[in-house]
Amino acid sequence: MSRHCAEVLLCNRQGGRISCMERLHILVTGRVQGVGFRNAAQSQAAALGLVGWVRNAERFDQVEMEVEGPPEKLEAFLEWLKVGPALAKVMDVHAFAIEPIEEQTFRILR
């Protein structure tokens, strides 16, 4: 897995607490199309409280996504992506930080 770590954080103060959000653009390569990867990624993101989107990339062996949330939740999501759903065979996960945009949901794009 490769990750370019020029972190871009968006932090807000809520009461006496500061919460920070990070957004990652991610490409997952391997047997990741036609195996339920996008639905599984959406479920995993929801379980972690993450927002963003996922879609099949133009290449037949890639899924592309942007995911936003607290850095520790993103790390857990990246760990899950290394394996993916049962029928997937992940070969590489490439992630880099981009500007957070404060989305509200996680969507599957067609």
| Catalytic residue check, 56 | yes
User: Which of the following is catalytic: 3, 31, 55, 56?
Assistant: 56
Query: CA–CA separation, 61 vs 39, rounded Å?
Result: 16
Contact (CB, 8 A) for 50 and 103: no
Q: 96 forms bridges with which residues in the sheet?
A: 4, 25
User: Which of the following is catalytic: 38, 39, 55, 59?
Assistant: 38
If we measure between CA atoms, which residue out of 37, 43, 45, 83 comes closest to residue 67? Answer: 45
The set of catalytic residues is: 38, 56
